[in-house]
């Protein structure tokens, strides 16, 4: 296995652009890639541009009629078929939509292939993590589900146990749906409670189909959850289910929209807590998955202040060169931010909360605490199905 992680990057992924009024501004990808370079991390990884996912690969998850509908909308956006979730407010059709969506999917599939074959220990595609796309419909800013496609490609290559951990503020519904009946895939999602946030799924009682009971784990966090609660919930659930499942590969999704500055959700997590979970995912990959780690981006709509820093930390951790939280951000990058967005960029790689303290679950829980109730609900729903104590 090569000692260098791979960073999947093709400048053309910034063409994933729903228009100037849409919250998913592709400048977040360009600024992340630029910050990775400004901090010298691109010298610590192998930067790889994978090929777009072809139709046979897309069909590992998506229906052929849906792929045809995306192609048609891509060629003539005005004719997009809303019955496929295309041409909606969330997923407006745009010229070239199929091509760039397939390119992003190809980067995640390429990351999975590299890690499985031992070409790299870890691979990052921060343009990916488009976890809401369904087999037959676009949803929630997501056209093709690159995360599910990466998992499906691992299964095609011979993997028998793949774990997918999603810490986006929104439930990883599309990935869960793709593998709902497949006991070879463990999907774990920590997200804001479905009563208060799209897509209104991810209840703890969603545990997988009859033949795959216990293969879906959902931790539905109360709105307002901050650093200590978020980390407590992660560590109260994820390590135990991974230890029992024994994945051969760990695929993780790191939506940055859990942040307290994100405009589309209601958690109150800092950049420093996001970094702490990234570190934990890296450690869990080594502890339970032989070091094989595919890390993806996801949501995140504070496109200057949060997303570039969060995913640059992810790249550094995967590269084995973690960026210290107190690192001062190069002035050249901040000038680029202003030139592109007319916003002032952040000055350091921290929100000033590192290291982030939290109380371990093993120390006991408070039955009256809403966060602890959420953790208990997840553990009670799925742990016995996996032979674990709730």
Q: Indicate which residues carry an active-site annotation.
A: 132
Gap between the Cα atoms of 149 and 62, Å rounded: 9
φ, ψ dihedrals at 229, nearest 5°:
-70, -40
Verify cis geometry, omega within 30 degrees of 0, for the bond prior to 199: yes
Distances (CA, A) of 252 to 95, 151, 323: 30, 10, 19
Q: What is the 3-state secondary structure (H, E, C) of 137-176?
A: ECECCECCCHHHHHHHHHHHCCCCCEEEEECCCCCCHHHH
Asked if 125 and 105 count as a contact pair (C-beta separation under 8 A), the reply is no
* Cβ contacts of 355 within 8 Å, gap of 6 or more: 272, 276
Cα–Cα–Cα angle for 250, 302, 84, nearest 5°?
Answer: 65
Reference 368, options 197, 167, 222, 238; nearest CA is: 222
Gap between the Cα atoms of 336 and 126, Å rounded: 20
Distances (CA, A) of 169 to 44, 200, 265, 330, 347: 29, 12, 7, 29, 25
Asked if 33 and 151 count as a contact pair (C-beta separation under 8 A), the reply is no
* Cβ contacts of 37 within 8 Å, gap of 6 or more: none
Distances (CA, A) of 218 to 57, 192, 268, 301, 374: 28, 10, 19, 23, 10
Gap between the Cα atoms of 238 and 217, Å rounded: 9
Task: Indicate the SS3 state at residue 86.
Answer: coil
């Amino acid at each position: 296995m090569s000692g260098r992680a791979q960073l999947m990057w093709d400048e053309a992924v910034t063409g994933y652009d729903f228009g100037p009024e849409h919250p998913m501004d592709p400048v977040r990808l360009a600024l992340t890639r630029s910050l990775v370079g400004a901090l010298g991390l691109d010298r610590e990884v192998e930067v790889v541009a994978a090929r777009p996912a072809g139709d046979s690969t897309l069909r590992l998850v998506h229906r052929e009629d849906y792929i045809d509908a995306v192609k048609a909308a891509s060629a003539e956006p005005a004719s997009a078929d809303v019955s496929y979730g295309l041409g909606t407010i969330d997923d407006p059709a745009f010229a070239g939509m199929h091509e760039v969506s397939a390119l992003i999917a190809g980067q995640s599939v390429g990351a999975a292939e590299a890690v499985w074959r031992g070409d790299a220990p870890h691979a990052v595609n921060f343009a990916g993590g488009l976890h809401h796309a369904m087999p037959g419909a676009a949803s929630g800013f997501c056209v093709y589900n690159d995360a599910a496609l990466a998992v499906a490609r691992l299964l095609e290559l011979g993997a028998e146990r793949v774990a997918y951990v999603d810490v986006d503020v929104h439930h990883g519904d599309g990935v869960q749906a793709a593998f709902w009946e497949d006991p070879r895939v463990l999907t774990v999602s920590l997200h804001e409670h479905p009563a208060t946030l799209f897509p209104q799924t991810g209840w703890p009682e969603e545990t997988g189909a009859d033949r795959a009971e216990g293969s879906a784990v959902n931790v539905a966090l109360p709105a307002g959850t901050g650093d200590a609660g978020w980390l407590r919930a992660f560590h109260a659930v994820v390590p135990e289910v991974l230890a029992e499942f024994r994945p051969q590969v760990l695929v993780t999704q790191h939506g940055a929209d859990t942040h307290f500055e994100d405009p589309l959700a209601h958690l109150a997590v800092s950049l420093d807590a996001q970094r702490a979970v990234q570190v934990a995912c890296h450690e869990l990959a080594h502890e339970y998955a032989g070091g094989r780690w595919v890390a993806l981006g996801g949501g995140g709509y504070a496109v200057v202040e949060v997303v570039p820093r969060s995913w640059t930390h992810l790249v550094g951790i995967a590269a084995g060169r973690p960026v210290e939280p107190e690192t001062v951000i190069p002035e050249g990058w901040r000038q680029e931010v202003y030139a592109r967005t007319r916003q002032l960029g952040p000055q350091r790689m921290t929100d000033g909360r590192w290291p982030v303290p939290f109380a371990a679950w093993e120390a006991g829980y408070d039955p009256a605490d809403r966060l602890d109730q959420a953790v208990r609900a997840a553990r009670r729903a799925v742990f016995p199905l996996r032979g674990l104590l709730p």
